[in-house]
């Protein structure tokens, strides 16, 4: 609790002397900030209404093209499924563990976020570590799934569209999720060094939202690849 | 260095985009000149060119048809992506969007910088395709598989095609980032009191375009990625079975090439509107200013722009009438395509309604705007023919299509760029462009563009296929050669008259007539600040908007216009 407030004050003292606008932007939409927030509002100047420079908006808007990107590939998947040459591949056991691990990481991340909201910093630090661990575990598990399939002789380079799609979809999903992992690492480093400025707290929300989103995409892909016929 | 090359100031980014587009258009026009020369005088020798590209010329010094195709591919790719996509939207949008909505900067300044960096990288990569082994790709800007998926299909289809795909992918990412920046800037950074329905129509054009880019480019990335995987990772998405390339059977495959066309045109048709919608917004804006009248039907203008944006996503099938899709879906696509004529006609009617009874001032930007309307109508009439599947089956892949899209997408958008340049030049530099030179340039270009592209419609009706490096082999096409000669000569004159524009652009920076901050007596916010604008756009208090963008010729007022801040 006390840590949050001191960090805030340091930040706000810096920003009042510089551009007063920025501090406002970063605190927008975050209720639990310290009372230092008001320092930044630059003496009754007319502010442009609704200044929301939050990275959150960016990530929310970035979800639209990402969804369409996956949607385009899924469209081809469904189109190809009815054409010839389609041989359903057997689900590698690691795909199930990937799914479970990713869902767990989303849950732990949510616990961490709640902890930060209630200003339980140690609890936040612990759970964010657990979440990052499960995040890495997902990537490992996906690699194991690839290995398991390759051991059965199912490769990306093949004339079986289902195998093509499995490797491609898991691959592009992993690339997108990697962005989320970088976000988690950023948050984790902040937690380790007890940096809880408004920016950092905002980053927790942003990383969590993006992670949930990619989690949702994976569940959809998992159902599409192995359950939906 | 820092100020001009690595700045996150939206004005610098806008200018960077403009100059990138200028370089791209010069490269691309040069390619088209070479193509026309090859097409018109196939036997001629090219000593200088064959010194630079020895592999592109045969033993007797004539240009190979493969090189013609690679020039055609690069001409299309550069024009569509690096001129028509970035100049109206990213160049003018980055510079003037914050100024017009009264913001001090874009919502994400560094995102703008990143997207320019990526765009520049993509352009650089694309140009390198000319100099790698095998040269640039041959498969057109549409890159249809299976030929684009197989490295042995042509000299440029190996490394050149890979570079093309990577470049297009990077470009698409930049375009998406840029459009997120635009949308959020308009939604969150508007000045005090600026309602959405008070925005200048230019901003609506940029907003509609950004929304389309956000939805269309991801599909292109997905398609390009799958094609790249087909080429390098051994997947089997697009290459069909039993395919024979260069007399040899390609290894076992069972992909579906038509899927590429679905994905590509789902992006490709909206791309047409990405090129033209900013121009539509701008022309609506200029016609009102230079007729000294409010825009006729502001709300219908906004709604028709949004309707065009939406309908653009439902008509991709009209590019595929001859690919063997079901005649029933052809009919549906035909119907939807012709529906686009409704919002387009609404816009044209409103443009004419804006001109009707106005105090028309024939300045250079106004002339370009009227030229835009003329080209848009002529090109649009060609679209009515092509939109019907029964006629398209005959006209597809002929010069009719070439003439049509060069008029409506190419020339119209370029005229909008000319208009925007002449109109906003005083704001950027503080001096005006030379009006006399501008008018001469307008008339030469306007007549020239019609002289080039109207005869192409007749070539198409006569059955002249596009993408052929020469037609002298075909008896029934031989008699069309005089028309080709006419087109090429018209083209050389028109291209050379663009030098007038370049000279005007450069000399006006130093020797143009000095003007005050609002030379056109316009109403929008960018004209209320100094020229060029200060780093944070508006000195002192941020602007306070209290009226719509088009308050001209109001009864019982001294001035014939009211600024948005008055």
Contacts A–B by Cβ distance under 8 A: 103
* A182 has a chain B CB within 8 A of its CB: no
Q: Do B14 and B93 contact (CB within 8 A), yes or no?
A: yes
Local structure of residue B472 (DSSP, 8 states): T
Confidence category of residue B1, pLDDT binned at 50, 70, 90 = low
Q: Do B286 and B366 contact (CB within 8 A), yes or no?
A: yes
pLDDT at A108 over 50: yes
Closest CB to B108: pick one of A58, A66, A83.
Answer: A58
| Distance (Å, whole) CA B493 – CA B487 | 10
| Beta-carbon count within 10 A of B473 CB | 10
| Beta-carbon count within 10 A of B196 CB | 12
| Distance (Å, whole) CA B174 – CA A53 | 20
Computed over every residue of chain A, the mean pLDDT equals 80
Q: Which of A28, A69, A156, A173 to mutate to test the interface with B (most CBs of B within 10 A)?
A: A69
pLDDT at A6 over 80: no
| Distance (Å, whole) CA B271 – CA B220 | 10
* A25 has a chain B CB within 8 A of its CB: no
Instruction: Please enumerate in sequence order all residues whose Cβ is within 8 A of that of B426, keeping only pairs 6 or more positions apart, or say none.
Output: B432, B433, B515, B519, B520, B531
Q: Do A145 and A92 contact (CB within 8 A), yes or no?
A: yes
pLDDT at B208 (0 to 100): 97
Tokens of B484: 């080709």
Q: Do B433 and B508 contact (CB within 8 A), yes or no?
A: yes
Confidence category of residue A114, pLDDT binned at 50, 70, 90 = very high
Give the nearest chain A residue to B106 (CA atoms).
A53
pLDDT at A177 over 90: yes
Percent of chain A residues topping a pLDDT of 70: 76
B516-541 confidence digits (pLDDT tens): 889 999 999 999 999 899 988 998 88
Local structure of residue B84 (DSSP, 8 states): I
B384-406 confidence digits (pLDDT tens): 999 999 999 999 999 999 999 99
Computed over every residue of chain B, the mean pLDDT equals 93
Instruction: Please enumerate in sequence order all residues whose Cβ is within 8 A of that of B558, keeping only pairs 6 or more positions apart, or say none.
Output: none
In this structure, the dihedral spanned by the alpha carbons of residues B204, B208, B213 and B216, taken in order and rounded to 10 degrees, is: -170
B413-423 confidence digits (pLDDT tens): 999 999 999 99
Closest CB to B254: pick one of A50, A66, A159.
Answer: A159
Q: B416 or A89: whose pLDDT is higher?
A: B416
pLDDT at B169 over 90: yes
pLDDT at A17 (0 to 100): 37
Closest CB to A79: pick one of B103, B183, B259.
Answer: B259
| Distance (Å, whole) CA B415 – CA B77 | 19
Local structure of residue B26 (DSSP, 8 states): H
Query: Sign (positive/negative) of CA torsion B274, B278, B284, B286?
Result: negative
B88-117 confidence digits (pLDDT tens): 999 999 999 999 999 999 999 999 999 999
Phi/psi at B514 (nearest 5 deg)?
A: -70, 135
pLDDT at B437 over 60: yes
* A87 has a chain B CB within 8 A of its CB: no
| Distance (Å, whole) CA A43 – CA A45 | 6
| Beta-carbon count within 10 A of B343 CB | 20
Return the residue matching tokens 């605190």: A27
pLDDT at A12 over 50: no
Task: Tell me the three state secondary structure of residue A212.
Answer: helix
A16-70 confidence digits (pLDDT tens): 333 333 333 333 333 333 333 333 333 334 444 444 558 899 999 999 999 999 9
Q: Which of A159, A165, A179 to mutate to test the interface with B (most CBs of B within 10 A)?
A: A159
Number of separate helices (H) and strands (E) present in chain B = 19, 4
Q: Which of B188, B241, B255, B260 to mutate to test the interface with A (most CBs of A within 10 A)?
A: B188
* A52 has a chain B CB within 8 A of its CB: yes
How many CA atoms lie within 13 Å of B293's alpha carbon, on the beta-carbon side? 19
Tokens of A208: 């969590």
| Distance (Å, whole) CA B236 – CA A80 | 11
B33-57 confidence digits (pLDDT tens): 999 999 999 888 888 888 888 888 8
| Distance (Å, whole) CA B70 – CA B565 | 52
B111-139 confidence digits (pLDDT tens): 999 999 999 999 999 999 999 988 899 99
* A175 has a chain B CB within 8 A of its CB: no
Instruction: Please enumerate in sequence order all residues whose Cβ is within 8 A of that of B365, keeping only pairs 6 or more positions apart, or say none.
Output: B286, B290, B419, B420, B422, B423, B520
Tokens of B330: 């052809």
Tokens of A61: 């808007």
* A53 has a chain B CB within 8 A of its CB: yes
pLDDT at B286 over 90: yes
Give the nearest chain B residue to A163 (CA atoms).
B235
Phi/psi at B76 (nearest 5 deg)?
A: -65, -45
Give the nearest chain A residue to B212 (CA atoms).
A65
If phi > 0 it is left, if psi is from -120 to 50 it is alpha, else beta; for residue B242 that is left
Cα A23 to Cα A18, A51, B103: the distances in Å are 10, 11, 17
Segment 304-323 of chain B within 8 Å of chain A by CB: none
pLDDT at A126 over 80: yes
For the ranges A28-32, B166-170, B283-287, the lowest mean pLDDT is seen at A28-32
pLDDT at A229 (0 to 100): 65
Closest CB to A156: pick one of B102, B234, B266.
Answer: B234
End-to-end CA distance of chain B: 39
If phi > 0 it is left, if psi is from -120 to 50 it is alpha, else beta; for residue B541 that is beta
């Amino acid at each position: 609790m006390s840590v949050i407030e001191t960090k805030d004050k340091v930040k706000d003292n810096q920003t009042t002397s510089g551009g007063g606008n920025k501090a406002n932007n970063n605190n927008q939409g975050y209720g639990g900030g310290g009372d230092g927030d008001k320092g930044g509002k630059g003496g009754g100047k007319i502010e442009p209404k609704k200044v929301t420079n939050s990275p959150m908006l960016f990530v929310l808007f970035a979800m639209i093209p990402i969804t369409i990107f996956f949607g385009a590939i899924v469209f081809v998947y469904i189109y190809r499924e009815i054409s010839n040459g389609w041989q359903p591949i057997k689900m590698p056991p690691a795909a199930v563990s990937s799914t479970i691990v990713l869902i767990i990481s989303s849950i732990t991340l949510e616990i961490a976020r709640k902890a930060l909201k209630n200003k339980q910093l140690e609890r936040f630090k612990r759970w964010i570590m657990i979440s990052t661990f499960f995040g890495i575990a997902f990537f490992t598990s996906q690699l194991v799934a690839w290995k398991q399939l390759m051991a059965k002789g199912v490769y990306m380079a093949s004339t079986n569209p289902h195998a093509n799609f499995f490797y491609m979809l898991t691959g592009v999903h992993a690339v997108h999720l990697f962005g989320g992992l970088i976000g988690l690492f950023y948050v984790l480093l902040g937690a380790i060094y007890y940096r809880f400025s408004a920016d950092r707290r905002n980053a927790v929300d942003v990383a969590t939202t993006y992670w949930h989103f990619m989690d949702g995409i994976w569940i959809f892909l998992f159902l599409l690849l192995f359950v939906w016929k | 260095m820092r100020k001009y090359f690595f700045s996150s100031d939206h004005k610098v980014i806008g200018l960077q985009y403009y100059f990138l587009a200028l370089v791209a258009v010069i490269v691309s026009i040069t390619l088209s000149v070479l193509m026309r020369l090859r097409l018109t005088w196939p036997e001629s020798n090219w000593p200088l060119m064959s010194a630079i590209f020895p592999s592109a010329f045969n033993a007797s010094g004539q240009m190979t048809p493969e090189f013609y195709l690679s020039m055609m591919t690069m001409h299309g790719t550069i024009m569509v992506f690096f001129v028509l996509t970035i100049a109206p939207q990213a160049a003018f949008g980055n510079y003037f969007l914050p100024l017009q909505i009264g913001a001090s900067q874009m919502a994400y300044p560094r995102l703008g910088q990143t997207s320019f960096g990526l765009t520049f990288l993509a352009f650089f990569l694309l140009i390198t395709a000319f100099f790698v082994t095998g040269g640039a790709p041959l498969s057109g800007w549409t890159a249809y598989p299976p030929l684009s998926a197989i490295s042995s299909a042509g000299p440029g289809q190996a490394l050149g095609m890979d570079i093309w795909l990577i470049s297009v992918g990077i470009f698409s990412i930049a375009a998406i980032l840029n459009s997120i920046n635009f949308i959020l800037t308009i939604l969150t950074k508007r000045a005090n009191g600026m309602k959405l329905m008070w925005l200048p129509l230019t901003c609506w054009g940029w907003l509609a375009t950004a929304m389309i880019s956000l939805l269309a480019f991801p599909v292109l990335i997905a398609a390009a990625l799958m094609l790249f995987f087909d080429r390098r990772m051994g997947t089997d998405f697009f290459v069909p079975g039993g395919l024979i390339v260069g007399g040899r059977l390609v290894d076992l495959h069972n992909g579906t090439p038509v899927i590429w066309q679905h994905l590509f045109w789902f992006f490709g048709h909206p791309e047409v509107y990405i090129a033209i919608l900013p121009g539509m917004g701008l022309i609506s804006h200029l016609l009102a200013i230079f007729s000294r009248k409010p825009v006729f039907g502001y709300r219908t203008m906004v709604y028709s722009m949004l309707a065009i944006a939406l309908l653009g996503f439902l008509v991709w099938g009209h590019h595929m009438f001859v690919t063997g899709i079901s005649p029933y879906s052809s009919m549906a696509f035909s119907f939807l395509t012709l529906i686009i004529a409704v919002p387009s006609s609404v816009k044209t009617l409103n443009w004419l309604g804006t001109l009707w009874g106005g105090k028309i001032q024939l300045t250079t930007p106004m002339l370009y705007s009227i030229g835009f309307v003329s080209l848009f109508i002529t090109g649009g009439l060609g679209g009515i023919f092509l939109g019907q599947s029964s006629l398209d089956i005959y006209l597809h892949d002929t010069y009719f299509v070439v003439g049509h899209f060069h008029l409506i997408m190419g020339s119209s958008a370029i005229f909008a760029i000319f208009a925007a340049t002449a109109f906003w030049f005083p704001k950027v530099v503080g001096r005006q462009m030379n009006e006399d030179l501008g008018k001469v340039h307008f008339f030469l270009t306007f007549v020239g563009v019609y002289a080039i592209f109207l005869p192409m419609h007749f070539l198409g009706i006569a059955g002249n296929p596009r993408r052929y490096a020469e037609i002298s082999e075909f008896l029934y096409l031989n008699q069309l050669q005089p028309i080709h000669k006419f087109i090429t000569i018209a083209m050389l004159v028109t291209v050379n008259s663009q030098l007038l524009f370049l000279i005007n652009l450069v000399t006006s920076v130093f020797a143009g007539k000095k003007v005050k901050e609002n030379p056109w007596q316009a109403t929008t916010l960018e004209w209320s600040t100094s020229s060029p604008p200060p780093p944070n756009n508006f000195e002192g208090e941020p602007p306070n908007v209290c009226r719509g963008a088009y308050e001209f010729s109001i009864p019982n007022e001294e001035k014939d216009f009211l600024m948005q801040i008055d």
